[in-house]
Structure 1
Amino acid sequence: MTTSHPPAAAAAPARGCPFASQPLSGHQTPTGCPVSQRAADFDPFEDGYQQDPPEYLRWAREQEPIFWSPKLGYWVVTRYEDIKAIFRDNITFSPSIALEKITPTGEEANAVLASYGFALNRTLVNEDEPAHMPRRRLLMEPFTPEALRHHEPLVRKLAREYVDRFIDDGHADLVDQMLWEVPLTVALHFLGVPEEDMDTLRKYSIAHTVNAWGRPKPEEQVAVAHAVGNFWQFAGQVLDKMRQDPSGPGWMRYGIRKQVEHPEVVTDSYLHSMMMAGIVAAHETTANATANAMKLLLQHPDTWREICEDPGLISNAVEECLRHNGSVAAWRRLVTKEVEVGGALLPAGSKLLIVTSSANHDSQQFADADLFDIRRDNASDHLTFGYGSHQCMGKNLARMEIQIFLEEFTRRLPHMRLAEQRFSYVPNTSFRGPEHLWVEWDPAQNPERRHPGLLDVRTPVRVGEPSRHAATRTLLVERATPAAEGVLRLRLVAPDGRALPRWTPGAHIDVECGGPELSRQYSLCGDPDHAQAWEIAVLREADGRGGSAWIHDRLKAGDRLRVRGPRNHFRLDEAARKLILIAGGIGITPVSAMARRARALGLDYQLHYSGRRRGAMALVEELSALHGDRLQLHVGDEGRRCDLAALLAQPEAATQVYACGPQRMLQALEAACAGWPEDALRIEHFASTVGTLDASREHAFEVELRDSGITVPVPADRTLLSALRAANVDIPSDCEEGLCGTCEVRVLGGEVDHRDLVLTRAERETQTRMMSCCSRARGGRLVLEL
């Protein structure tokens, strides 16, 4: 369900005060603003937050996207765009408190830690610039997809061995009997910990989480401190052992070798801190993520059955599990200078709890956000791994492990089901996963008893973010009816009759017109609140690229289509005081959905619809019935044309103008709105690209893919990354803003126009690497190692 968010001016009592709703609590923020009762009651250590953080904070996303928590002493941030902006700016929002104890410990516990020489220093998680990025870049290689593939055989071997132990029992606690142990073993191997030290380190790992993010009782703090102190000392001893032979495998030995080359970057204290923090980061988050994923999938039996029948869905299912119920609930940041976030003016020194699990359920970013949909097109936009320069380096190792675990379970135990139980969680603000996950099945139905060769089948694992081409769903054409001259209206439903994901006005779907190589985007034009069907209206374009002709000539009721989405880059601002909606020709499709939503919300709106002939204008009767006098038809051959200059002559406060139609109409609109406030006009072009370039300032170029033997043109209005994806070359990416380095490609020839914030000046001068999301060619051609 789409939520209407009130404008900040209406909800805040004064500039700089957060959104506040009645009743108030009597508390004040550090800036003297009132605190609502719900904000005052917020307690992340309560069972409600532990069980379901997004649901626990639904009220905040809808009413107070940032609020002051008197109990915690933190500002709590809950919406996607605010949290993404915080991640993006790691200067204003320092990560330095990410590992700070959220519950201060008493003097006795502090004395215990001091007795062990505990001195956890800066790590990649909580380090500021300028130290952070040089260290990150230096230590990145073991996390590349190529390097991670070397760990795949070990993960598969462990998964197979652990399932062997309980496959014939008919029941298991997946956490105790597999999901806690295997990721820890993988983590220790990844770090290069000697086999003889693994059991000791296993005992200590949970203590660090409780110490940093939990709320141990006073009587528990001393015991936790002893465990953390032992963990610290033993981690140092293991590191010293590695130094004696740094030539072996493992990330820590890699770091020791890099220390020899760059002692000023990779210091002793840094290695010791990362030895301890790395075990926790690589182990607990993956163990919890897999337990959360299995719990979620088994709570949705139809979805579980789908991935059992089609393992090709697993990689995207992993992303949706990470989004819907990830293992990282929240991170923390420190405000370094006065800044406004989500309507609240925050002074320097403010502490933030940024609840990424809440952001992952923000309906402004994810359509029908609470729906668990393994075909969700933008599932990998989740913030579970963070974003920008501090995103999780081990994300692809975690993805690989979860995929392999799901492959093993779906192949060998497709008849598995959840047992009756109440789920419990270790109380803390940031990391969550069930302490136990009891499942049961009938061993007599184990597929391998009937098909001995089953275990020889292996699904290729995908290391990295899944291709969006993998997120297709098959829909049935329930009706295909003329909507106007040359316009075909399709009503699409799920073949099994199940509800489809809800969507928001302005959203579109990608339709495979006979195959994935011919994919076209069409705006949804039905009722966003109707979950049983999606509707599109397709204009036959005589000079098109073949997609509309295929739909008109080939499709009929009863046929099946493969589609992706929905996605929305043309969102309606439901907080606007007034809407002026303008459509030309088939551009009415997204605009009609906006008008329907405005009517449902009771907003002040007017709808202007232009066309050459009434008979060629789709949806006219439906629009007239719904909108009455708010609809103005401008029909060319009837002598009624839309005078955009007159319509928009006077800018109107708090008014948004939305338009979709032919390019000439959109250019005229931009001229007519020249005197309006910035961002008052929002346009949807018929042709959509991933990039956001100013094409008038760019030039086209081509890239030769040396390994693939093909040449890909990159138009002036498209990024290299999107052009490669359009050519079905999958490049991993995350921020797509030149911040994170994930989309780096090797350059074999040509001169690069570097625009990223990752490479150093010296690295740029080598002309051997570039970030495909933002950098371009200075000349007309590049040669890439792809």
Structure 2
Amino acid sequence: MSTGSCPVDHAAAAAGGCPVSPRASAFDPFGPAYQADPPAAVRWSRDEEPVFYSPRLGYWVVTRYDDVKAVFRDNTTFSPSIALEKITPVSAEATATLAKYGYAMDRTLVNEDEPEHMPRRRVLMHPFTPEQLVHHEPMVRRLTREYVDRFVDAGKADLVDEMLWEVPLTVALHFLGVPEEDMATLREYSIAHTVNTWGRPSPEEQVAVAENVGKFWQYAGTVLDKLRQDPSGHGWIPYSIRAQREHPDVITDSYLHSIMMAGIVAAHETTANAAANAIKLLLENRSVWEEICADPGLIPHAVEECLRHSGSVAAWRRLVTRDTTVGGVPIPRGAKLLIVNSSANRDERHFDHPDEVDLRRDNATDHLTFGYGSHQCLGKNLARMELQIFLDELTRRLPHLELVPDQEFTYVPNTSFRGPEHLWVQWDPAANPERADPSIAELRRPVRIGEPSKRGVARTVTVVSVERAAEDVVEVTLAATDGKPLPKWSPGAHVDLQLGELSRQYSLCGDPAEAGTYRIAVLKDPDSRGGSRYMHENLRPGTTLSLRGPRNHFRLDPTARHYVLVAGGIGITPIIAMADHVKAVGGSYELHYCGRDTTAMALLDRCRRDHGDRLHVHTSADGTRLDIAALLANPAEGTQIYACGPERLLDALAEASAHWPDDALHVEHFTTTQQVLDPAVEHAFDVDLADSGLTVRVAADQTVLAALRAAGVDVPSDCEEGLCGTCEVPVLDGEVDHRDVVLTKAERAAGTRMMTCCSRACGDRITLRL
């Protein structure tokens, strides 16, 4: 193992020897703890020393989410050039062995710097777009079924040996356009390439590994020569050969040879390992597996959560090109980084309860398993498709599948790729569902190409009670159908309920400490588009609904000295939760509740009971309407205004608070002014993606969100009406035509963020941090 020199100036260090901590000094990525569970092995680092130097490895190690993402984002300061560098020094005999095969692996998309990288990526990325990948789905489905057919009646199988290694390899070869021959030999070659680059083989083992790597290099060259003779067929390599004719300076002969070999490994091994990890994780969490079996619509989200929790790419590497800092720690030019993205994926600073498997985690797609920025994995959506199909076939045909107990899981020792070498499962063939209904084996469920929309992350809840809260207002109490606690929430949060064909948002108005239930209040609106009418006319105790969330884009600022809380009508729902919270923490506040008359004001008795003289009731019937101008006449330092209610109330508050600090007023909307895009009125524009180096054209009748997804760029979304804020992205340059109702006046004026589902560029170009 490398014994890289200590980066600390001992002469300048305090007495007591090397300040590298004992845990940092003992860190061993080839040890059993890291190999079994990298995120758990470096938990101490995330908590105590998120950036540390490893004398054993000769690398700086980075383990927290924000730091890992920052490194991925900046591929100039943090060069990818060492991503394929051998992490263990190679013996002279192994080097000679590689030389006799003419091994000359060069830069690929994975490890090349700008300005070479992005021009090549742009030329080569078309086969990876969603509209191209969809053509591969029938082939992946057919292969998976054929392999399941082979063992479905056996009762026991090693899923790695009998499906999860060979299917991704065949898919990889098909995608690349490589002949599907010598599969067993290719498996040996692929493992050798991994060990050669990221492993710790002994000097003797290095020679055997080098033999296989050299043969792999020769094999890649032979296949490439054959494809050059007729590159008219399908596949990424024939496509690349054709692209070379138009861009000979960008796609060179040596480059084609290198991506030929690297592509087989990249398209195959990571997916095979990810599939084994995912199935193992789900079977270890039996209730989650059973939930997917019962609701296959959760499969795309299960894939993302498995990639987050137990992805196949444990860590990656970067070279520091200038003196800089990472996580506040000075890092010198020339330093090497091991960025443990699997640790970042379990950082509790970014993911709530990260060690748990939560199919409805609303930020699971934030995971860094595919990297981030301009070097994000091109094949991510092909891998997602394969994983979805594997889970669909197994949960449908073998829902009673279980892990063989007491088996020992082993991993190929290396720093970066992780998946069990064997995965033994068992089941009772007599209980196979298709024996009773053969059509089960032939079902084909739709596959999502790309990142799943957060819109689909739902749970089933049961109506516990429906009670009158005021004239034309009902208070509805909901509980999880399975009796489990519902996710925690904070004041201002809302949930989305599926009401027949409609989806509507409702603020939570209960007590966040009541983990078993949610409470909402719903006004029967005479102008309802169907949502409130449905709630009033169809809900009964025992009714089941589909619920997403909770989500919160209306959060209280905990640093405020005083809160002015204003509710109009049913807008009391998020405001009362805020008032309850501020009271509970001993904060200063006043609550203004406006309505037509007291008989129509929901939760008024509760407001009076719990908030006493802090409550000010304003009704038209009694002639005590709120004097908004007087209320907000004098700006008060440290005071924050939170309001929810009819648009006329919110508009009046905005006008009356115009002389207050820009971020003093916070409002919650439940309606949007978004219109269908009219190409006769709108204009097309370009979106430059600073972190990815891409330029995406947005048509006059297309949203930015749709254009980004079509280009294979993952942006989460939910309401897609400019209401929820889920699709927010950072803006670096260009003027934004804001059309959402989420951002404050100050946030709009700053121009540093936009909602991609509705907002557009004012001019011909805008630059986003994506």
- Per the TM superposition, whether the score is higher than 0.5 is yes
- Once residues 64 and 456 of structure 2 are traced to their aligned partners in structure 1, the CA distance between those partners, rounded to angstroms, is 28
Query: Does the 8 A contact of 1:645 with 1:672 survive in 2?
Result: no
- Cα deviation, residue 205, structure 1: 0.3
For 2:197, the equivalent position in structure 1 comes to 212
Which residue of structure 2 aligns with residue 435 of structure 1? Answer: 421
Alignment of 1:446 with 2:428, yes or no, is no
Q: 1:534 aligns with which of 496, 506, 518?
A: 518
Selected match of 1:423 from 409, 426, 437: 409
1:287 Cα deviation from its structure 2 partner: 0.5
**Aligned partner (choices 399, 402, 405) of residue 390 of structure 2:** 405
Larger deviation, residues 313-322 vs 483-492: 483-492
**1:157-187 C-alpha deviation (Å, 9 max, x unpaired):** 3222222222222111101111111111211
Superposed displacement of residue 298, structure 1 = 1.5
Give distance in 2, aligned partners of 1:39 and 1:464: 38
Q: Which of 676, 682, 702 is 2:678 aligned to?
A: 702
What CA deviation, in whole Å up to 9, does each residue of 1:697-739 have, x standing for no partner? x99952599xxxxxxxxxxxx99547869xxx986753549xx
State the alpha-carbon separation in 2 of the partners of residues 437 and 231 from structure 1.
Answer: 26
Indicate yes or no: 2:287 matched with 1:302: yes
Q: CA deviation at 1:563?
A: 1.7
* Residue type of the alignment partner of 1:558: G
Aligned to 2:550: 566
Task: Say yes or no: does 1:672 pair with 2:655.
Answer: no
Deviations 1:732-763 (A, max 9, x none): 753549xxxxxxxxxxxxxxxx979xxxxxxx
Taking the aligned partners of 2:76 and 2:757, their CA distance within structure 1 comes to 22
Decide which of 16, 24, 30 is 1:45's aligned counterpart: 30
Going from structure 1 to structure 2, the CA distance change for 1:461 and 1:625 (only over 3 Å counts) comes to same
Given residue 262 of structure 2, which amino acid in structure 1 is its aligned partner?
A: A
C-alpha contact (below 8 Å) 2:283/2:402 kept by paired residues? yes
Q: Number of aligned residue pairs: give it.
A: 683
Equivalent position amino acid for 1:673 in 2 = P
**Once the 2 structures are TM-superposed, how far is the Cα of residue 624 of structure 1 from its aligned partner?**
9.2
List per-residue Cα deviations over 1:347-379 (Å, max 9, x = no partner).
Answer: 444433333323333445444443323244443
Change (3 A) 1:524 1:413: same
Aligned to 1:272: 257
Summarize the alignment of residues 489-500 of structure 1 with structure 2, pairs less than 5 Å apart: 489-500=475-486
CA shift, 1:234, in A, is 2.5
Cα distance, 1:244 vs structure 2: 2.4
Partner Cα separation in structure 1 for residue 609 and residue 45 of structure 2? 37
Task: State the partner residue of 2:637.
Answer: 649
SS in 2 for 1:353: strand
| CA displacement, residues 104-139 of structure 1 (integer Å, 9 cap, x when unaligned) | 334443444344433322211122222222211111
Q: Which residue of 2 aligns with 1:333?
A: 318
User: In structure 2, do the counterparts of structure 1 residues 198 and 243 end up closer, same or farther at CA, with 3 Å as the change threshold?
Assistant: farther
Distance change (3 Å), C-alpha of 1:755 and 1:577: closer
1:686 to 669, 679, 684: 669
Structure-to-structure mapping, 1:133-532, within 5 angstroms: 133-420=118-405, 421-481=407-467, 488-503=474-489, 506-515=492-501, 518-528=502-512, 530-532=514-516
Rounded to whole Å, the distance in 2 between the matches of 1:719 and 1:703 is: 5
Give the structure 2 partner of residue 610 of structure 1. Answer: 592
Q: Distance in 1 between matches of 2:15 and 2:460?
A: 51
Tell me what 2:726 maps to: none
**CA distance 1:383–1:486, shift in 2 (3 Å):** farther
**CA 1:505–1:443: 2 relative to 1, 3 Å:** same
CA contact (8 A) 1:417 1:440 kept: yes
Q: Which runs of 5+ in 1 are unaligned?
A: 1-16, 18-23, 29-33, 652-656, 675-679, 690-694, 706-717, 738-753, 757-770, 781-786
Determine what percentage of the aligned residue pairs are the same residue. 59
- Measured in 2, the distance between the counterparts of 1:493 and 1:186 equals 43
Following the alignment from structure 1 to structure 2, what is the Cα–Cα distance between the partners of residues 86 and 443? 49
**In the aligned structure 2, how far is the partner of 1:398 from the partner of 1:495?**
33
Task: Measure the CA separation in 1 of the matches of 2:614 and 2:625.
Answer: 13
Deviations 1:16-69 (A, max 9, x none): x9xxxxxx99786xxxxx655554544433333333333344444455544444
Contact 2:133–2:382 (Cα < 8 Å) also in 1: yes
TM-aligned CA deviation for residue 146 of structure 1: 3.1
Contact 1:720 1:773 in 2 (8 A): no
* Partner SS, residue 479 of structure 1: strand
Is contact 2:451-2:714 (8 Å) kept? no
- Contact 2:495–2:505 under 8 Å retained in 1: yes
- Alignment deviations for residues 430-458 of structure 1 (CA, whole Å, 9 cap, x no partner): 22111211110111222233323333322
Taking structure 1 as reference, are residues 425 and 53 closer, same or farther at Cα in structure 2, changes over 3 Å only? same
How many Å apart are 1:231 and its aligned residue? 2.0
- Cα 1:82–1:410 change in 2 (3 A) is same
Deviation of 1:274 (Å): 0.9
Q: Quote the offset at 1:309 in angstroms.
A: 3.5
Using the alignment, how far apart are the partners of 2:665 and 2:39 within structure 1? 30
Unmatched segments (≥5 aa) in structure 2: 1-7, 9-13, 619-623, 682-699, 717-732, 736-754, 765-770
> Once the 2 structures are TM-superposed, how far is the Cα of residue 525 of structure 1 from its aligned partner?
4.5
Give the AA of the match of 1:609. L
Which moved further from structure 2: 389-398 or 94-103?
94-103
Deviation at residue 672 of structure 1 after TM alignment:
2.7
Structure 2 CA distance for partners of 1:723 and 1:51, relative to 1, 3 Å: closer
Deviation at 1:605, TM superposition (A): 4.6
> What residue number does 2:644 align with?
661
Look up the match of 2:729.
Answer: none
> Take 1:76 and 1:590, find their aligned partners in 2: how far apart are those partners?
43
Secondary structure (helix, strand or coil) at the match of 2:276 reads helix
SS in 2 for 1:146: helix
CA 638–264 in structure 1, closer or farther in 2 if over 3 Å, else same: closer
Following the alignment from structure 1 to structure 2, what is the Cα–Cα distance between the partners of residues 777 and 292?
42
**Retained in 2: the 8 A contact 1:578–1:604?**
no
Query: Does the 8 A contact of 1:644 with 1:668 survive in 2?
Result: yes
**8 Å Cα contact 2:572/2:593 also seen in 1:** no
- Indicate if the aligned counterparts of 1:329 and 1:429 stay in contact, CA closer than 8 A: yes
The alpha-carbon distance between structure 1 residues 457 and 339, as it changes in their structure 2 partners (threshold 3 A), is: same
Counterpart AA for 2:63: T
Aligned-partner residue type, residue 557 of structure 1: P
1:734 maps to 713
* Contact persistence 1:68–1:76 (CA under 8 A): yes
8 Å contact 1:588–1:609 — kept in the other structure? no
Cα 1:119–1:501 change in 2 (3 A) is: farther
Judging changes above 3 Å, is the alpha-carbon distance between structure 1 residues 56 and 262 closer, same or farther for their aligned structure 2 residues?
A: same
Q: Distance in 2 between matches of 1:660 and 1:703?
A: 35
Deviation at 1:538, TM superposition (A): 4.3
CA RMSD of aligned residues (A): 4.2
- Give the Å deviation of 1:335: 3.5
Shift in alpha-carbon separation, 1:299–1:719, aligned structure 2, 3 A: farther
Distance 1:224 1:643, change over 3 A: farther
The Cα of 1:542 is off from its aligned counterpart by: 6.4
Structure 2 residue 566 is the aligned partner of structure 1 residue 584: yes
Structure-1 separation of matches of 2:583 and 2:61: 34
Cα displacement (A) at 1:390 = 1.8
Closer, same or farther: CA 700–390 of 1 in aligned 2, 3 Å: same
Bigger shift: residues 612-621 or 330-339: 612-621
Give the Cα separation in 2 of the matches to 1:773 and 1:468.
13
Contact 1:577–1:604 (Cα < 8 Å) also in 2: no
Aligned: 1:126 with 2:111: yes
Q: Which moved more, 1:505-514 or 1:138-147?
A: 505-514
Instruction: Tell me the amino acid that sits aligned with residue 428 of structure 2.
Output: D
Change (3 A) 1:512 1:670: farther
C-alpha contact 2:582 2:588 (8 A) present in aligned 1: no
Q: Distance in 2 between matches of 1:434 and 1:257?
A: 38
